[in-house]
Amino acid sequence: MELKSIKKHYMLYIMMVPIVGYFLLFAYYPLAKGLQISLQDYKLMGDRPYIGLTNYETVLHDPFFWQSLRNTVFIGIGILLFGFFAPLVVALSLNEVFKSWFKKMAQLVLYIPHLLSWVVVGGMWIFFLSPDSGLVNLLLKEIGIAPIHFMADEAWGRWVMIGSATWKDMGYNCILFLAGIVSINPSLYEAARMDGASRWQQARYVTIPQLMNTMKVIFLLNTLGIFRIFDQIFVMSNTAIANKVDVLMMYTFSKGILEIRIGQAAAASFFVIVFTLLLTLMTRKLTRFDEV
Amino acid sequence: MNIERYDRLGWKNKLFDSVNIVFLLLLMLTMIIPFANVLALACSSGFASMQPDIILFPKDFSVEGFTIVWNSLNIWQPFLNSVIVTVIGTVLHVMLACIGGYVLIHPHVPGKKIMISFILVTMMIPQDAVMIPLYVVNKDLHLINTLSSLVISGLVSGFSILLMRNFFMVVPYEMAESAQIDGAGDLRIFSTMYMRLATSGLATITLFELVSRWNMLTAAILYINDSKKYTLQVALKAMILDTSSTSSNYLVTTNVRMAGILITIIPLLAVYPFVQRYFMKGIMLGANKE
């Protein structure tokens, strides 16, 4: 029976060959290879002796690793919170708009930054935040505030990252929230109106509680992004603020590609993988916790 | 019902609506003004663009920014590379996603569960976290400094496969079965039925893939050092951020940089309003996945 079925579907197996082959070579093998490299004194040429856990020890004793972990946590949590609440507020506010053309146009516009790369968005913001000719400082000057060196001041660096990331992904998360709001059963609103609920009360007692599930999903999805922040920092970091904004992936990148200490970079990557897995399990547990 | 509507037009509601609209308009302005500013700077002369007073309107109108960035800085080369990598990569990616999705809609294929877990595990491996070993793999395969490395990067994604599978599931499976009884093979059913019936799904993942490949940065900075193979994103990054170290520094005035940004985003912004609904659809499908 099984054999007959396999024979009948032989074409399907042939179709799967390139996909399985790709994943073996570019997903599973690199993972195993990464583990191997992390245990080696890996050079691009010549001998690659195994050196046990030395690479991991080096990473754990590297103050830059810990600094980049602190930066990741600070910036990650900042983006997580602002990137969650800001679009939520915007979605609730868009939901109160009755003219559908305005709603559509707002979504169209708000999504644009998400469509663009970090090179473009980061490059634009670096320019807008520049002290002499940047848009932001021109506006600050109008209201009588002295120019701020946003991109050269350690105190501002992390907030610039959080702010620009929130700005970029605003439209994306907003659309997710709006989709959740649209799928709320309209009869709930009718019932609330019958009972004389004001618009504020409808939002407070119908929309927000009904949106809980959507919120959990979005929060979970965004949590997984914390350790993946890279493009943004790669584009926007500079030597003046690097110490406050360079995240774990930047650490891995500069160790592995720029300093060619590949073993150490591979070891650092495994910490990232472990952190991501832990975070995934944790958020899954937390978000499911209330449901049961 | 009408009376209810009328009630909601009380002054409090009206005030709220006005405040709300103003808030949203201001927010939209924070998205529009930056782009207007980029456009105004790009269309100003080199000298004027270095002065701190251009906000919405170009001063000393000129297109020299565009001609310098295109002809003197030769950004057409990275532009071409980006087009090649994006188009080939997207076509292959979507094809493979469709093939995978099609295989997984068959209910009685032995080993299907194993295939699905095999794919799901790849989705849990954070791609960026394996960038060092991926670099080594590409090096061992002699792919460093080739555009092929960029086409191959992310060529198959479990996420796209499962998304395509969802689109295919909407097509009634009985149709495939009856075609099978009529003697059509899997390849034929796949190409003549499924590929034609799931066009909106195809459009959705094609668009998402086009955008993400056009914007691809990590792979391009990892695998490419030869400036002839630079993609637009890498070239733009070099141009707007690292200019101090290059000899052509004197050319890169603000209007040139902004023209570079515009050339990078125009292909996306030109099509975006017409295909926006596919993006909205795709976002929602992506979110419902988890």
Of B119, B137, B258, the CB nearest to A33: B137
C-alpha B187 chain-centroid distance: 29
DSSP 8-class letter at B253 = -
Tokens found for residue B197: 């019936």
Question: Which residues of chain A does B243 touch, with a Cβ-Cβ cutoff of 8 Å?
Answer: none
Using one digit for the tens of pLDDT, what is the confidence trace for A187-245? 998 898 888 888 888 888 999 999 998 898 888 888 888 888 999 999 999 888 989 99
User: Residue B236's closest chain A neighbor by CA?
Assistant: A119
CB contact under 8 A, B126 and A272: yes
CB A68 within 8 A of CB A255: no
- pTM listed for this prediction: 0.89
The pLDDT of residue A283 is 79
Note whether residue A221 is domain-resident: yes
User: A1 or A91: which carries more pLDDT confidence?
Assistant: A91
Note whether residue A207 is domain-resident: yes
C-alpha distances in Å from residue B234, one per residue of B38, B81, B188:
19, 11, 42
**pLDDT over 70 for what percent of chain A?**
98
Distance CA B235, CA B263 (A): 12
Please report the DSSP string for A227-245 in residue order.
GG--HHHHHH--TTTHHHH
Q: Is the pLDDT of residue A135 over 70?
A: yes
C-alpha distances in Å from residue B169, one per residue of A183, A204, B92, B192, B193:
22, 38, 22, 16, 12
- Residue holding tokens 């584009």? A235
Residues in Cβ contact with B280 at an 8 Å cutoff, skipping those fewer than 6 apart: A107, A175
Using one digit for the tens of pLDDT, what is the confidence trace for B10-43? 787 888 888 999 999 999 999 999 999 999 999 9
The pLDDT of residue A120 is 95
Question: Cα-flanking dihedrals φ and ψ of residue B61, to 5°?
Answer: -50, 135
Domains in chain B, please, with CATH?
Answer: 75-232 (1.10.3720.10)
CA distance A33 to chain B (A): 6
Note whether residue A74 is domain-resident: yes
Structural domain span for residue A147: 54-289
**pLDDT over 90 for what percent of chain B?**
43
C-alpha A24 chain-centroid distance: 26
Note whether residue A40 is domain-resident: no
Note whether residue A248 is domain-resident: yes
Question: Which residues of chain A does B237 touch, with a Cβ-Cβ cutoff of 8 Å?
Answer: 119, 123, 235
DSSP 8-class letter at B21 = H
CATH number, domain containing residue A124: 1.10.3720.10
User: Residue A256's closest chain B neighbor by CA?
Assistant: B132
Q: Is the pLDDT of residue B289 over 70?
A: no
User: Residue A34's closest chain B neighbor by CA?
Assistant: B133
Residues in Cβ contact with A1 at an 8 Å cutoff, skipping those fewer than 6 apart: none
Q: How many structural domains comprise chain A?
A: 1
Note whether residue A14 is domain-resident: no
ipTM (interface predicted TM):
0.88
